[in-house]
Amino acid sequence: MIKKISAVAVLFVMIMSTVYAQAPKYSNEFLAIGVGARALGMSNSNVAIVNDVTSGYWNPAGLAMLSSKYELSLMHSEYFAGIAKYDYGAFAAQIDDKSAAAFSFIRFGVDGIPNTTELIDASGNIDYDKITTFSAADYAFIFSYARKSKIAGLHYGANVKVIYRQVGKFAHSWGFGIDAGVQYDLKKWHFGAVARDVTSTFNAWNYTLDDATKAVFTETGNVIPKNSVEYTLPRLNMGAAKRFDFFKKKFSALIDVDMDMTFDGMRNVLIKSDPISLDPHVGVELGYKDIIYLRGGVGNIQKESTIDGKNRTSFQPNIGVGIVIKKMVTIDYAFTDIGNASIALYSNVFSLKVNLNRKKTAIDSKK
C-alpha cells in the first residue's frame, strides 16, 4: 500500500502528459489561460481590441498599434488555492512607424511536489531522508512581429513559439509553433482574427526514468511512459468590438464579442459538432476619462449534468477594474478562473503595464 502511495506524486503529472499525447485537443492548454488582467476580466474577449504589449499573446497584429516606443508588462496569478502558479512577462518595441516586435515569456507550474519513489529501500525499510521534491512546469517563449499594411486600418502580425515542458528529472519536451493574426479598425469598430498553431504545434517528449523508478512503476501496476510526440491542432479566434462615447467623451463603453473555433472534434461548448466547435464569449469595459475602468465578461458556456440527471447550462462570469496613471503606468485587476468554478477556485489576478517614451497616436481613441 505504501509503495502505491509513493508513486502517486510522480504519476499524476506524468500520466496526464501521456494521456495528452493521445488527445491532441488538450495539448499545451496552459497557453489558453490568457494574460493581462484587462483581458481576463473581460472573459478573454480581446482579439479585436488588443493594441499593447500583450498583443504578443492575444493577437500579434495589435503590436503595430503600440502607443509607446517601448512597453513592458508583468502578471502573476495563482490557481487551485495557490498550488499552481502562473507568471507572465513581455517587452515590446516599435521598430519604426509601421512595425513593432515583442518577446513574451510564460510559466505555469506546480513546485515542491514530493518524490517518494525511493521512500522504501530494498530491505523494506522506510527512509524519509530519501524524499525529495521536484517541479512540473510549462514554459513558452514567444517572438512576435507586426506591421501596418498599405490599407488604412489594416495591420497584421505573426508569432513564433518555442515551448519547453518539464516534469522534474523524469521527463521533458520541446515544442515549436506559429500563430498569425490580423486586425482591421474602421472608425469606432474593431475587428480581429488570429489563427493559433497554424502549422500544428508539436511537443516531442523524452522520458528519463532510472531502473529503480521503473521497478516501482512495474510493481505498482503503473504504465511506464514512452518517448512520444503530441500535437496541438489549429484553432481560429475571431472578434468584433465597438466603442461608444457619452457625455462629451468623459465616459465610454467598449463591447467586444469573440468566438473561438476549434477543429479537433466535439467539445463541451455552446455550439458543438464534429469536428468543428464554437465557443463564444463577451466582454464589456466601462471607462471614465480613459483613466478608470470597470470590466466584466461572460464565457465558458457549457452543458452540465446535475445530481438528479438533468442537464443545465452553466457559464463563467468574470469582473475586473483598471487604473491608468499619467498614461504611463496601468494597473489592472481581475477576479477570474481558468475554467468552471466547480473545478477550480476563482483567483485574484494583478497585472502591470508600463509605457516608455509614450507618443499620442490615433490608437488613443481605441483605449
**pLDDT digits over 136-188, tens only?**
999 999 999 999 999 999 999 999 999 999 988 888 899 999 999 999 999 88
21 band by pLDDT with thresholds 50, 70 and 90: very low
What integer is the mean pLDDT of 48-58? 96
Under 8 Å between Cβ of 278 and 268? no
Q: What percent of the chain has pLDDT over 90?
A: 51
Encoded amino acid at 24, one letter? P
Under 8 Å between Cβ of 95 and 181? no
Q: Is the pLDDT at 130 greater than 80, yes or no?
A: no
CATH numbers and ranges of domains, the chain: 2-366 (2.40.160)
Residue closest to 53 by CA, chosen among 42, 67, 40: 67
Cα–Cα distance for residue pair 192/149, rounded to 1 Å: 14
Hey, which bits of 48-167 come out as E strands?
68-79, 84-94, 99-115, 132-148, 154-167
Cα–Cα distance for residue pair 270/282, rounded to 1 Å: 13
pLDDT at 127: 73
Placement of cell 511506464 in the chain? 224
Residue closest to 138 by CA, chosen among 50, 53, 28, 47: 28
What integer is the mean pLDDT of 83-108? 95
Peptide linkage before 275 cis (omega within 30 of 0): yes
Under 8 Å between Cβ of 294 and 273? no
151 class by beta-carbon count within 10 Å (0-12 exposed, 13-18 middle, 19+ buried): exposed
23 band by pLDDT with thresholds 50, 70 and 90: very low
The C-alpha cell at 18 is: 501521456
Q: Is the pLDDT at 345 greater than 70, yes or no?
A: no
End-to-end CA distance of the chain: 59
- CA 287 centroid distance within chain: 25
pTM, full prediction: 0.83
- Tens digits of residue pLDDT in 112-122: 888 877 777 66
Q: Quick one: which H or E segment has residue 54? A: none
**Among the ranges given (136-140, 297-301, 362-366), the one the predictor scored with the smallest mean pLDDT:** 362-366
Q: Is the pLDDT at 189 greater than 70, yes or no?
A: yes
Under 8 Å between Cβ of 284 and 296? yes
pLDDT at 232: 85
261 class by beta-carbon count within 10 Å (0-12 exposed, 13-18 middle, 19+ buried): middle
- CA 270 centroid distance within chain: 20
